[in-house]
């Protein structure tokens, strides 16, 4: 069977890795990014570098967006020369960014009005998982649309969870990320308590990572602290954004995420102190500065 033509909208840390993965698997590929410099790694490759989302979508059977937030998503889909204006009638449109539930439902309505099949399919994983095809897709939408998209998901991901109707994938992703954010914030506070108490930091971290608290997130942050390397795989400001979206989603459902609210406060302080573009694990640096102030 021939491989479907794919368009990737957004070539940030995740989108560029996904595009590279599809290119290595010989998918016909079009890419678009608002900042044209991020298209330069694909110059000379058998990739169509589009001047607009509309241009990219017009060349694809599957259009996948991976952008920063609601505003960027709205722009690539509905903005001037947006993808909805150029997609072919039988295209499957996929939003894989981590966005608010309210925007996903609005976007789904817009796509349905034009007769497109739509999936919200955010992912778990970071930069290395995108490049190696080890993402986990959390999918909301119809079974028909999912089956049409499986050839792409199978190259980009290690597994796909179909969670229900449109919006289900987004809700699960926000829950996933708020739990990660809470763990990161709590580890940052734990590290400040370790330092304030004069404990051996290396020994204390080994106890935490080797015992019951030692989740994947805790271990990842401990590794970053030990290496003093906060090069972003997932920027701190995006974790703050996801916590805010999770709180908004919970509020709409009449529930209170008190730990998420506390974690968001910790991350917002880290952004105010200049760590927003570092890896989210740099939240520990903010706590350390408060300890020493």
Q: Catalytic positions, please?
A: 173
Please give the Cα distance from 207 to 214 (Å, whole number). Answer: 8
Contacts of residue 67, defined as CB under 8 A and 6 or more positions apart, other chains included, come to 9, 10, 12, 15, 73, 76, 97
Q: Which residue has the tokens 């701190």?
A: 236
- Give the three-state DSSP class for 69: coil
117 beta partners: 92
Please report, for residues 78, 97, 140, the alpha-carbon distance to residue 71 in angstroms, rounded to integers and kept in the order given: 10, 11, 21
Give the Cα separation of 220 and 72 in Å (integer): 29
Distance CA 197, CA 217 (A): 24
């Amino acid at each position: 069977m021939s491989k479907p033509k794919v368009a990737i909208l957004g070539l940030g840390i995740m989108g560029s890795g996904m595009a590279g993965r599809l290119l290595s698997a010989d998918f016909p590929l079009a890419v678009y990014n608002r900042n044209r410099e991020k298209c330069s790694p694909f110059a000379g490759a058998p990739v169509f570098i589009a001047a607009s989302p509309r241009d990219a979508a017009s060349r694809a059977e599957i259009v996948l967006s991976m952008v920063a937030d609601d505003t960027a998503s709205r722009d690539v889909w509905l903005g001037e020369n947006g993808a909805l204006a150029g997609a072919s009638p039988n295209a499957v449109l996929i939003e894989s960014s981590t966005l608010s539930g309210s925007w996903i439902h609005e976007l789904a309505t817009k796509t349905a009005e034009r007769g497109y099949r739509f999936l919200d399919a955010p992912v778990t994983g970071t930069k290395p998982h995108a490049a190696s095809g080890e993402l986990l897709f959390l999918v909301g939408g119809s079974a028909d649309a999912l089956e049409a998209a499986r050839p792409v998901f199978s190259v980009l991901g290690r597994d796909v969870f179909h969670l229900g109707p449109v919006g289900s994938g987004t809700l699960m992703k926000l829950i996933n990320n708020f739990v990660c954010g809470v763990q990161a914030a709590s580890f940052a506070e734990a590290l400040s308590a370790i330092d304030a108490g004069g404990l051996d930091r290396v020994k204390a971290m080994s106890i935490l990572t080797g015992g019951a608290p030692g989740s994947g997130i805790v271990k990842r942050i401990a590794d970053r602290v030990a290496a003093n390397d906060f090069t972003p795989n997932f920027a701190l400001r995006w974790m703050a954004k996801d916590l805010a979206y999770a709180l908004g989603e919970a509020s709409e459902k009449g529930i209170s995420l008190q730990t998420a609210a506390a974690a968001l406060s910790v991350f917002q302080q880290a952004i105010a102190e200049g760590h927003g573009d570092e890896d989210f694990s740099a939240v520990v640096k903010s706590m350390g500065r408060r300890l020493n102030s």
